[in-house]
């Protein structure tokens, strides 16, 4: 149930209550008590949603929850400035992404959040702007997630919450669950050229807790329509789950993501669906 549903229920209930009042003018005291009780219940429901809701971490990949739960850190770290309190509740620090839950209460709002590798860095790894998070007397629970590009596991990272007062609050997030031992970025730099002068260059194979992925460069704009890139893990074949890319002139850069299946031997099969050419790349 969200706030909109509560508002609709409240409006409908008020309509019927006032209808009852008009039909029972001799019993106004009892009905007034009913009305006040109803408003109190709505307020308590809304309060409970803010206290207990929005505790789910954003999901960046395909790992089962039973795997993730061993690496989600319960931090519950509290910092205060300008009569505004921020609680960093939970966090998951993976290769190339981070997710966290937090709450804000007090005088000012959170208007932006930045993710940095070092506190001295002027340019963040990623950022969110245009936020307006926080409530005066109760906790406003929220969650966030950032993706970024790195060839190594970054630990710790720093989250800076910018307030509408002009000040900010920074938290250090350091993984203590051993995710760094489960993640790896393997350079490949394997270029495959096809008969029609199209090519793809596989740059890296990334092994994260949430997903496996490959980074690529190519001159094929509609790459998903032309190429079929599958991953073999211990000789079992898996299709990609998602992909993304950006283009700058004739250069296309992007990545394909796969489910994180445990295994010892990894290889990629690249099929050009137009020319029927096939290439195998061994990862390890």
Kindly report whether the peptide bond that precedes residue 156 is cis, defined as omega within 30 degrees of 0.
yes
Provide the pLDDT for residue 66.
Answer: 83
Give me the residues of the chain with pLDDT under 50, please.
1-3, 51, 53
Provide the pLDDT for residue 58.
Answer: 81
Provide the pLDDT for residue 220.
Answer: 93
Q: Give the span between the Cα atoms of 54 and 160, in whole angstroms.
A: 20
Classify residue 103 as exposed, middle or buried by CB count within 10 Å of its CB (0-12, 13-18, 19+). Answer: buried
- Return phi, psi of residue 104, to 5°: -130, 130
Provide the pLDDT for residue 57.
Answer: 83
């Amino acid at each position: 149930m969200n706030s909109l549903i509560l508002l609709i229920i409240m409006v409908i209930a008020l309509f019927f209550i006032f209808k009852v009042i008009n039909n029972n003018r001799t019993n106004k005291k009892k009905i007034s008590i009913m009305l006040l009780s109803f408003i109190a219940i709505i307020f308590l429901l809304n309060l409970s949603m803010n206290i207990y809701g929005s505790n789910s971490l954003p999901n960046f990949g395909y790992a089962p929850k039973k795997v993730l739960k061993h690496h989600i850190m319960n931090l519950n770290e509290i910092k205060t400035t300008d009569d505004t309190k921020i609680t960093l509740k939970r966090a998951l620090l993976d290769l190339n992404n981070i997710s966290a839950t937090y709450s804000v209460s007090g005088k000012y709002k959170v208007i932006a959040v930045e993710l940095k590798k070092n506190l001295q860095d002027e340019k963040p790894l990623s950022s969110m702007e245009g936020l307006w998070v926080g409530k005066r007397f109760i906790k406003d629970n929220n969650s966030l997630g950032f993706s970024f590009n790195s060839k190594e596991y970054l630990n710790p990272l720093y989250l800076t919450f910018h307030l509408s007062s002009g000040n900010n609050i920074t938290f250090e997030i350091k993984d203590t669950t051993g995710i760094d031992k489960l993640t790896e970025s393997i350079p490949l730099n394997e270029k495959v050229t096809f008969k029609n002068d199209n090519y793809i260059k596989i740059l890296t194979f990334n092994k994260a807790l949430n997903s496996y992925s490959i980074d690529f460069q190519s001159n094929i704009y509609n790459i998903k329509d032309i190429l079929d890139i599958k991953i073999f893990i211990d000789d079992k074949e898996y299709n990609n789950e998602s992909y993304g890319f950006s283009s700058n002139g004739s250069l296309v850069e992007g990545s394909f993501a796969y489910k994180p299946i445990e295994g010892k031997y990894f290889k990629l099969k690249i099929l050009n669906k137009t020319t029927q050419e096939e290439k195998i790349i061994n990862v390890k």
